[in-house]
Amino acid sequence: MNTYGHTFRISTYGESHGPAVGAVIDGCPAGLPIDLSLIQYELDRRKPGQSRITTQRREPDEFEVLSGIFEGKTTGMPIHLMIRNTDARSKDYSHIADKFRPSHADFTYQQKWGFRDYRGGGRSSARETAARVAAGAVAKQLLATMGVEIYAYVSQVGPLRLETPYQELDLRQTDTNAVRCPDAAMAEKMYDFIDETRKKQDTVGGVVSGVLRNVPVGLGEPVFDKLHAELGKAMLSINAVKGFEYGSGFQGVEMYGSQHNDIFYRDGERVRTRTNHSGGVQGGISNGEDIYFRVAFKPVATLMQDQPSVNQEGEDVTVSGKGRHDPCVVPRAVPIVEAMSALVLADFYLRNQACQPNLAAQSAVASE
């Protein structure tokens, strides 16, 4: 599938070594002021070639608006954002045109279609996520009009795990270092770990944590399209993602119900909970508390070393390490996780508008 969302819907297109990648957004309401520099800001956070611990491919990732924005506002028509590829080096891939890199998408793409665009992994490359980030930056601007705040940060690299709860972190510090971890001391350790791994011609995984604040009560559908299910799908659709947990997640199983239940109380006009093991979602619907989750990314598949594999004929071959690759994806995955979060929330927000929800219920406390 090349599309995401029902109401705020995006399609993305483009291959890593084709002329361009981009996104078409359908369903964004008319009249939304758009700050184009905020779209560029997000693209800059994701682009390759940012530091020694990312792929050295150099892409400016400047975007062009081909439709849907006029005099600084959305027109209600499809919004087309295009990003040209300018630094593809396809010769790095000639030696694996008929070979399968272990744990990349080469084998499955070849088996599914009988051929593949092997240059840079074609459509399977995380280059596609530039389009998601551009579209997500529009969704973020829609959500900002109602005060929704979206944060992601690196909370783990290999064995180095930041134990500090997100409430105790200053999430505005995330972009002050190349790793995108808001704890400066931990960021330094993580940076060194990634750099050492790179020097050993290896790769390492990590975790990106997400925090969504001021999300209105009532987003999410009750049965299949639950808010956490859609968030999970959105995150699991990002390249190299192996796990998603929200709220208490897998650790919640170690608690008794009496410890895990989030006790309600009245806080002025709102009903709130004293704890938030639910992760801001109950019954698939946002309850107004922070939504928080963790996304696990595997170590990058393409290594700068030889690995045994097979070719299209099933013969034993060696896949040698070549080209420009990320030693660890999480620093660049932070804006992708934020973008996917924004796309999910914007979509549910518009779905609520469409079905005219019970707005009284959304203010949480019945008027007396």
Ligand X SMILES: C=C(O[C@@H]1CC(C(=O)O)=C[C@@H](OP(=O)(O)O)[C@H]1O)C(=O)O
Ligand Y SMILES: Cc1cc2nc3c(=O)[nH]c(=O)nc-3n(C[C@H](O)[C@H](O)[C@H](O)COP(=O)(O)O)c2cc1C
Chain contacts with ligand Y (rule: CB under 6 A): 55, 104-105, 124-126, 129, 238-240, 298, 300-302, 325-326, 329, 332-333, 336
Nearer to ligand Y, 55 or 278 (CB): 55
Instruction: Give the span between the Cα atoms of 61 and 21, in whole angstroms.
Output: 10
User: Is residue 48 within the footprint of ligand X (CB under 6 A)?
Assistant: yes
For ligand X, the binding residue among 42, 59, 183, 262 (CB under 6 A) is: 59
**Residue 60's binding partner, choosing from ligand X, ligand Y, none, with beta-carbon cut-off 5 to 8 A by kind?**
none
Least distance from ligand Y to the Cβ atom of residue 43, Å: 13
Partner in contact with 333, chosen from ligand X, ligand Y, none, beta carbon below 5 to 8 Å by kind: ligand Y
By CB under 6 A, residue 130 contacts ligand X: yes
9, 11, 24, 57: residue in contact with ligand X (rule CB under 6 A) = 57
Number of residues that bind ligand X (CB under 6 A): 17
84 marked among binding-site residues: no
The interface partner of residue 105, options being ligand X, ligand Y, none and the CB cut-off 5 to 8 Å by kind, is ligand Y
Tell me how far apart the alpha carbons of residues 135 and 24 are, in angstroms, rounded to a whole number: 8
121 binds ligand X (CB under 6 A): yes
298 binding ligand X? (CB under 6 A):
no
Q: How far is the CB of 193 from ligand X (least distance, A)?
A: 20
From the list ligand X, ligand Y, none, partner contacted by residue 228 (C-beta under 5 to 8 A by kind): none
Residue by residue, what is the 3-state secondary structure of the chain?
CCEECCCCEEEEECCCCCCEEEEEEECCCCCCECCHHHHHHHHHHHCCCCCCCCCCCCCCCCEEEEECEECCEECCCCEEEEEECCCCCHHHHHHHCCECCCCCCHHHHHHHHCCCCCHHHHHHCHHHHHHHHHHHHHHHHHHHCCCCEEEEEEEEECCEECCCCHHHCCHHHHHHCCCCCCCHHHHHHHHHHHHHHHHCCCCCCEEEEEEEECCCCCCCCCCCCCHHHHHHHHHHCCCCEEEEEECCHHHHHHCCHHHHCCCEEEECCEEEECCCCCCCEECCEECCCCEEEEEEECCCCCCCCCEEEEECCCCEEEECCCCCCCCCCHHHHHHHHHHHHHHHHHHHHHHHHHCCCCHHHHCCCCCC
Q: Does 300 carry a binding-site annotation?
A: yes
Q: Is 298 annotated as a binding residue?
A: yes
CB of 101 to ligand Y, least distance (A): 7
Residue 159: partners with Cβ closer than 8 Å, 6 or more residues away? none
- Give residues 70-99 in contact with ligand X (rule: CB under 6 A): 88, 92
Site string for ligand X, 161-190 (x = CB under 6 A): ------------------------------
> How far is residue 131 from each of residues 2, 61, 62, 242, 354, measured CA to CA in Å?
11, 10, 11, 21, 26
* Cα dihedral across residues 358, 362, 364, 368: positive or negative: negative
Q: By rule CB under 6 A, what string of x and - marks binding of each residue 315-334 to ligand X? A: --------xxx---------
Among 9, 99, 127, 180, binds ligand X (CB under 6 A): 127
Site string for ligand X, 209-248 (x = CB under 6 A): ------------------------------x---------
Residue 155 marked ligand-binding = no
- Supply the minimum distance, in Å, between the C-beta of residue 295 and ligand Y: 10
Minimum CB distance to ligand Y, residue 311 (Å) = 18
Cβ–Cβ under 8 Å, residues 247 and 279: yes
Smallest gap, in angstroms, from Cβ of residue 265 to ligand X? Answer: 45
Among ligand X, ligand Y, none, the one that 59 touches (CB under a kind-dependent 5 to 8 A) is: ligand X
Contacts to ligand X by CB under 6 A:
16, 48, 55, 57, 59, 88, 92, 120-121, 125-127, 130, 239, 323-325
